[in-house]
Amino acid sequence: MALNPAKHGIGMTSQRTRERLITRLREEGIRDEVVLAAILGIPRHIFVDEAIASRAYEDTALPIGYGQTISQPYIVARMTEILRSGGPLGKVLEIGTGCGYQTAVLSKVAQEVYSVERISPLLMKARSHLRELRARNVKLKYADGALGIPEMAPFDGIIVTAAATHVPHDLLAQLAVGGRMVIPVGTHEQTLTLIERTPEEFRQTKLEAVKFVPLLGGVS
């Protein structure tokens, strides 16, 4: 299905605007060409309200309602790059679907994507955006993501897009041996953290300072 120019604003879909974002991401240190191609291929403006769609290709987080945000393209690229670690991804679990932008990017670089969101109307928005993009390898779930999706585990990659005070135990248990989890940990000061599961241990590496909305318990 072609994008509807009346709805999306024909100028915003311009290839040059999107390429400028890719140049910016390269300048910020994103190196994985597979990730950059995925970002180039996903129209970010369809994930935000029309009133702010003209800002969709700026490298900033934007409001999506319900007190939540669409992640900054840099952070989406960075987390996807860390998760891939230069290789293909099988089954991935995302916690915090929001409007589904990161989910859409993941759908381009992983075989199967499962994503969990605790705010029902946001999940409905995400579902319609992902349908528009024909992302058929994505399954969405309305639940408390801290519990993961035990019946679909283990996952080769787990990406948490809300800040946790601690790494949820259920998510660790659902990470495959050889798998990687990227998760922002902390409250006021948050650190993007990589957890790699080896046969013997969960190896933790602190990466960089980030700013996410909090991971909350239960559903709303």
The 3-state DSSP class for residue 59 equals coil
Residue among 67 and 199 whose Cβ is closer to ligand SAH: 67
Check if the beta carbon of residue 146 is closer than 8 Å to that of residue 140: no
Q: How far is the CB of 85 from ligand SAH (least distance, A)?
A: 20
Q: 158-177 mask for ligand SAH (x: CB under 6 A)?
A: ---xx---------------
Count residues near ligand SAH (CB under 6 A): 25
Q: By the 8 A CB rule, do 140 and 94 touch?
A: no
Under 8 Å between Cβ of 73 and 38: no
**Consecutive H or E run containing 83:** helix 73-84
Neighbours of 202 (CB within 10 A): 12
Rounded to the nearest angstrom, the gap between the alpha carbon of residue 132 and the centroid of all alpha carbons in its chain is: 18
Contact flag: residue 71 with ligand SAH (CB under 6 A) = yes
Q: Which of 82, 119, 182, 183 binds ligand SAH (CB under 6 A)?
A: 119
Q: Which of 69, 80, 107, 193 binds ligand SAH (CB under 6 A)?
A: 69
Q: Which active-site residues does the annotation give?
A: 71
Site residues (CB under 6 A) for ligand SAH? 68-71, 76, 95-99, 101-102, 116-119, 122, 144-146, 161-162, 213, 215-216
